[in-house]
Structure 1
Amino acid sequence: PGADFVITSIAVDREKCWRQDWEVPAKYGIRQPLGENGGPGAAFHTARNAPMLLAIAKDMEKHCPQAWLLNFTNPVPRMTLVARRYSCIKTVGLCHQIGMGYGIVAAVLAKDLGIEMPESGSESDMFHAAAKHSHELLDIKAAGINHFTFMLDIRHKQTGEDLYPLFARRLKEMPPSVQPLSRRIFAAYGVFPATGDGHLAEYTHWTHDPQTKPWEKYGLHLYDWDGAERGRDEMWRRIEAMAAGGPLEGRIKTGSGERAVPIIEEMLLNKNAYEVAVDIPNDGYIANLPDGAIVEVPGVVSRFGIQGMGVGCLPEPIAALCRTQMTVASLAVDAAVLGSKELLLQAVLTDPMVNDMDQGRALVDEMLQLQAKYLPQFQGK
C-alpha cells in the first residue's frame, strides 16, 4: 500500500512452458525462431502472463492507484497493453534489447570510434564488449515495436556527424556470419534493425519454413532451455549465499544495466532525462502506426511521467509488418484477459508464421489441453 513504483518481471513455469510453446507448433510444421514474443508460441506466453500482470495492476488500483507500473515481463508490448487497456494504472514497458543495436553499431565502427575490441570470443561477446562504450559515443534513434525496432538515425554523440553512411560501408566489410538476417532486411528496406537477428526473426514470415530451413541460412539458434534452468538454479544459490552474509558479486554488485532505477530517479528528481527506448501507447510518435498501439520509441522522463519522442514515419513496408504484429498482439491480449478461444485462434491464424488454418487450429487445441492448469480462463468455454 502507498507504493510509488511497482516493477514486474514475471513468468509462469518459464522454461517448461516456453519449451512447449516451441515444440507443439513445431509438430505442425511451424519452426519458430524463439516462440517467446512473436509466432504462435507468443500467444500462449501472453495467455499465461496476462492474468498475473492484470491481477497486480488491479491490486495497484486498490492500494497505490497513483503508482507507476514499470513492466519488464515479456511479451513487453502485450503486457503493457494489458495494463493500459484493462486497468487505470500508469504503465511503461522497458527492455534492454536496444543495447544490442548500440553494440552492433559500435562493433562495426570500432576502429573508427577508437573502441578496443577483444581478440577472440563469440559474436555476442564482441557486441557486448563494444556496447560498454557505445552510449558515450553514439546517439541512435530507433523505433518500432519491442524486439522489432529499426535505426532511423545514427550519429556521433560528440560531433553530431551522421554515421549511417559509414556504418553501411563498414558493414559490408564484416564477415557474412555477422547478423545476416538484419543485413538482408537493411539491403531490402534501407533501415538496419536494432534488436539482433534472434528476436528480429520472431516477427518475420521468412524464418520458419521447414522446407527451406532459413534458420540455417541465417544462423538462428534455439533458446537453451536446459542451460537457462541451470543458470537460474546457480543464480539462486549465489543469492542465498549473499543473503547469508557472503560477499556481493555479479550484478548485485555491479548493477544490471536495466533502466527501472534510473527512470524512478528521473521521475522523482524531475530530471527531464532522455531514455533511448520506452514502450508506451502511440500518440503520433510513429506517424504511420495506429495511435493507442504500444510502440517503442525514445522518450523523456520527468515528474510528469514519460513523454515519447516523435520520430516521423517508418519505411512503409516496415510499418506494414509492425501493424500486423499490433493486430496479433491486440487479439492475443483480449483473448488472454477474456478467456476467449475464438480470439485466441484468431491471434494464432493472423500471425505471419502460421500458413495453414487446420494446423493453427490443431495447435491451439493441443496447447489449451497441454497447458490447461496454466490457462484456467479458457476452461469450460
Structure 2
Amino acid sequence: MSFKIAFIGAGSIGFTRGLLRDLLSVPEFNNVEVAFTDINEHNLQMVTDLCQRDIRENGLKISIQSSTDRREALKDAKYVICTIRVGGLEAFATDVDIPLKYGVDQCVGDTLSAGGIMYGQRGISEMLNICKDIREVAAQDVLLLNYANPMAMLTWACNKYGGVNTIGLCHGVQGGHSQIAEVFGLDKKEVDIICAGINHQTWYVQIRHQNKDLTGDLLEAFENHADFSRTEKVRIDMLRRFGYYSTESNGHLSEYVPWYRKRADEIEDWIDLGNWINGETGGYLRVCTEGRRWFETDFPNWMKEEPHAYEQEKRSEEHGSYIIEGLETGRVYRGHFNMINKGVISNLPNDAIIEAPGYVDGNGISMPLVGELPLGPAAVCNVSISVQRLAVEAAVSGDDKLLRQAFMMDPLVGAVCNPKEIWQLVDEMLVAQEQWLPQYGSAIAEAKERLSAGNLIPTREGYKGAARLKVKTVEEMQLDRDAANKNAGEADKGKDRAKV
C-alpha cells in the first residue's frame, strides 16, 4: 500500500516517534510516504534524524519528507496527525502561573479551567489555518487525527468551522481500563468496558468479566487497592458520589469540577505528590519542561541507543495506527473516539464532541448508539460542554465577551473567583498571550488600557500554589537517566501514575 501520512507538530518527540513506530509496524505500510512538519526547525531536525535512524535500522526504504513548510508536508496527504502545542512551553507557563495569582490552582491546565480555555483560544486559531491548508493541498478524502488538547474544543472547531473531517484521539480510556483490571486482579484483556462521555470526563458505565457485571463492585475494589486508594482520591470520591469511575487522572479530574481545588488549604487532602499526575500544582508543565530540556541536552546519546523495533507486539495503545490500519486493510478495530455526537449519547447535545466506543473497518468509522448516560455523569459533562461551546465560539469570532462567559461558567474558576476577578484575569491572560491570539486585537488593546489605568484588584503575586515542586535541572535528571529518557520519550507522561 502507498499513501501519505503527514505529522504536524512533529517536533513532539513523545508522540511522533511512538506513533510512527505503531504505523510502520503494520506490514502493509512498509511503502507509505511520511512527512514531518514543525515551526521549530531545530526540534524538527532532531526528531527527523532519530526517526529516520529507526526506519533505516528496521530495514525500510522510507525517506521522511521533513520541512518547516506546512503546505509542502500536507500536499496529497491522506492522513494528517496533529500534535501541536501553540505557544509551546512559554505560553503554557502563563496558563498555569497567571491563574495562580487569582487562586486558580491547576495540575495540568490543558482541557478546561483557565489554562485549558486559553490553550483552546490559541489552538483553535491555528487549527483553522491548518484546516485551510489541508482543504487546499491534501487529498480529497483526507482524515485529520487530532491528538492536540484541548481535545474536544479543537476537534469541535475543525469539524464545524474548519471543513475537515476530524477525529480526536486520547489514551485516557485505555489507562483507566488498565486500572480497573488491576483492582480486580484480572488481565486487561479479560475485562470488557463501555466508556462514554466527553474527553477527559468519560465514564465507565459498564464493566464485565465473563458475563458478570462488575460495575457495582468497583468502589470497594478501588478503596481496597494499596496504591490507588492513596493516589486517586478525587476519582474514588467521584465514583463514590456519582456511581461511576471517570477516565482521567486524579490531577486532571480535580481541576474539571468545583470541589477539590477551590481551597488552598484542602488541596493536599485530595492529591499525592509521588507522581505529578496525582495532583501536583503545575505538574504537567514541570514534566514537559524537564522532558524538553533533557531531550535537547541528551539527544546525541539517543542516536547511539537501540532503535525502536517495528514489531506488532511493540505497538502502543494509541488509537491512531489502528484506525488507519482498519480503514486501509479492512481489519476491524474497536476503540474510543472523539467525534460529533449526532445522537450517540442521547442526553448530551448533538453538536458536542463526545468520546464513546467506535468500530473501524474498510467501510469507515462507525459509532454505535450509547443511549443515555446516567444522570449524574451527564450533568457533569453538560457543564463542561457549555464551557467548551462558549470557548470555541469565542476563539472563532474573537469575541472576548464570550471568552469571559466561558471563564464564568468554568467550574473551578467560578468556584474560586468572583466576576470582577474573572474580568481582570481574562485581561491579564489576553495581554500575556497576545502574540498567539490574532483574533483578539481590539480586545487586547482595551485590556491593556484597563490594566495600565490602575485601581486593580489585588492578587497574590509570586504565589506558587498549594503543591508546587521545583523543576529539575539537567544535572539532577542525569542521576536517573532511565526516568529522564522515559519522561522525554513517552506520549503518555502519566503512564506510571501510581508509582512513587
Q: Same fold (TM over 0.5)?
A: yes
Are 1:353 and 2:353 an aligned pair?
no
One-letter code of the match for 2:177? Y
Where does 1:209-288 land on structure 2 (aligned, <5 Å)?
209-219=262-272, 220-222=279-281, 223-235=283-295, 247-249=306-308, 254-275=314-335, 277-288=336-347
1:373 alignment partner in structure 2 = 435
Structure 1 residue 174 corresponds to structure 2 residue 225: yes
Pair 1:94–1:86, CA change in 2 (3 A): same
SS of 1:66's equivalent in the other structure is: coil
Tell whether 2:380 aligns with 1:326.
Answer: no
Whole-angstrom CA distance in 1 between matches of 2:296 and 2:131 = 27
Q: 1:271 to 1:94 in 2, by over 3 A?
A: same
Residue pair 1:33, 1:215 contacting (<8 A) in 2 also:
no
1:68 to 124, 127, 143: 143
- 1:83 maps to a residue whose letter is C
The 8 Å contact of residues 128 and 161 in structure 2, kept in 1 or not, is answered as: yes
Match of 2:97 in 1: 23
Measured after TM superposition, the shift of residue 268 of structure 1 is 1.1
Distance in 2 between residues matched to 1:227 and 1:168, nearest whole Å? 30
For residues 235-262 of structure 1, give each alpha carbon's deviation from its aligned partner in whole angstroms, at most 9, with x where no partner exists. Answer: 35666666x6764149999444322111
Shift of 1:336: 1.3
Distance change >3 Å, CA 37–CA 224, structure 1 → 2: closer
1:120 aligned partner? none
Matched, 1:150 2:203: yes
Aligned residues: 355
Instruction: Pick the structure with greater CA Rg.
Output: 2
In structure 1, what is the equivalent of residue 162 of structure 2?
Answer: 87
* 1:37 is aligned to 2:111: yes
**Cα 1:218/1:284, change in 2 over 3 Å:** same
- SS of corresponding position for 2:240: helix
Give the superposition deviation at 1:24. Answer: 0.9
The 3-state SS of whatever aligns with 1:7 is: strand
Superimposed CA distance per residue, residues 115-162 of structure 1 (whole angstroms, 9 cap, x where no aligned partner) = xxxxxxxxxxxxxxxxxx52x222111111111111111112xx2322
Equivalent residue, structure 1, for 2:214:
163
User: Which of these residues, 348, 354, 359, is aligned with residue 300 of structure 1?
Assistant: 359
- Aligned to 2:395, the other structure's residue is in SS state helix
Q: Percent identity among equivalent residues?
A: 30
Aligned residue among 253, 263, 280 for 1:200: 253
Counterpart residue identity of residue 325, structure 2: E
Change over 3 Å in CA distance of 1:251–1:102 after alignment to 2: farther
Matched residue, 2:129: 55
Instruction: Summarize the alignment of residues 303-318 of structure 1 with structure 2, pairs less than 5 Å apart.
Output: 303-318=362-377
- Quickly say closer, same or farther: Cα 1:221–1:246, change in 2 above 3 A: closer
Q: Write the mapping of 1:334-349 to structure 2, written as runs, cut at 5 A.
A: 334-349=393-408
For the residues of structure 1 that align with 2:91 and 2:309, how far apart are their CA atoms?
A: 28
- Give the Cα–Cα distance (whole angstroms) in 2 for the partners of residues 59 and 238 of structure 1: 35
Q: Give RMSD over aligned pairs.
A: 2.3
Q: Distance in 2 between matches of 1:236 and 1:154?
A: 43
Letter of the 2:342 partner, please give it.
D
The whole-number CA distance in structure 2 between the counterparts of 1:232 and 1:181 is 29
Distance (whole Å) between structure 2 residues aligned to residue 57 and residue 262 of structure 1: 23
Given that residues 37 and 202 in structure 1 are in contact (C-alpha distance below 8 angstroms), is that contact kept between their aligned partners in structure 2? Answer: no
Alignment of 1:76-155 (within 5 A): 76-110=151-185, 113=186, 133-134=187-188, 136-155=189-208
- Tell me which residue corresponds to 1:126: none
2:146·2:155 contact (CA, 8 Å) conserved in 1?
yes
Distance 1:281 1:373 in 2: 31
Query: SS of the counterpart of 1:35?
Result: coil
| SS of equivalent residue, structure 1 residue 192 | coil
Moved more, 139-148 or 208-217: 208-217
Residue identity opposite 2:178 in structure 1: G
3-state DSSP of counterpart to 1:258:
coil
Give CA-to-partner distance per residue, 1:344-379, whole Å, 9 cap, x none: 111111111223111110010011111111212211
Query: For residues 167 and 353 of structure 1, do their structure 2 counterparts lie closer, same or farther at Cα, with a shift above 3 Å needed?
Result: closer
- Alpha carbons 2:251, 2:271 under 8 Å: kept: no
- TM-score by length of structure 2 reads 0.67
Picking from 338, 344, 349, the partner of 1:290 is: 349
Return 5+ residue gaps in structure 1 as ranges. 114-132
Q: Is the 8 A contact 2:404 2:422 kept in 1?
A: yes
In structure 2, give the amino acid aligned to 1:230.
E
1:121 maps to which residue? none
Residues 81 and 96 (structure 1), Cα distance of their counterparts in 2 relative to 1, 3 Å cut: same
With over 3 angstroms needed to count, the CA separation of the structure-2 counterparts of 1:246 and 1:318, relative to structure 1, is closer
The 1-side partners of 2:270 and 2:194 are apart by: 29
